[in-house]
Amino acid sequence: MAAECRRQLPGLQVRTDVRMGHPANVLLDATACASVLVLGPPRVSKTRRVLPGSSA
């Protein structure tokens, strides 16, 4: 998705990041100097897709 955003909007600064920690603290830290925060689900295998439960 980041690559597609960069392709369609060359002047847009896009950064991806993976962080570890308590979700609330990680999100607060990530938004301290961000204009926009976009969250997405992790990539999962076909087997995991059919199992019920949260993916993000």
Q: Is the pTM of this model over 0.75?
A: no
How far is CA 9 from its chain centroid? Answer: 18
pLDDT at residue 8 in the model: 94
Handedness of CA 47, 48, 50, 52 (dihedral sign): positive
pLDDT at residue 45 in the model: 65
pLDDT at residue 2 in the model: 87
Local confidence pLDDT in tens for the 56 residues of the chain: 889 889 999 998 888 888 899 988 998 998 888 888 887 776 666 666 566 655 55
Distances in Å between the alpha carbon of 22 and those of 4, 19, 44? 29, 10, 21
37, 31 contact by CB (below 8 A) = yes
- In this structure, is residue 53 part of a structural domain? no
Number of domains in the chain: 1
Q: Provide the residue range defining the domain that includes 17.
A: 1-34
pLDDT at residue 25 in the model: 93
SS3 49: helix
- In this structure, is residue 22 part of a structural domain? yes
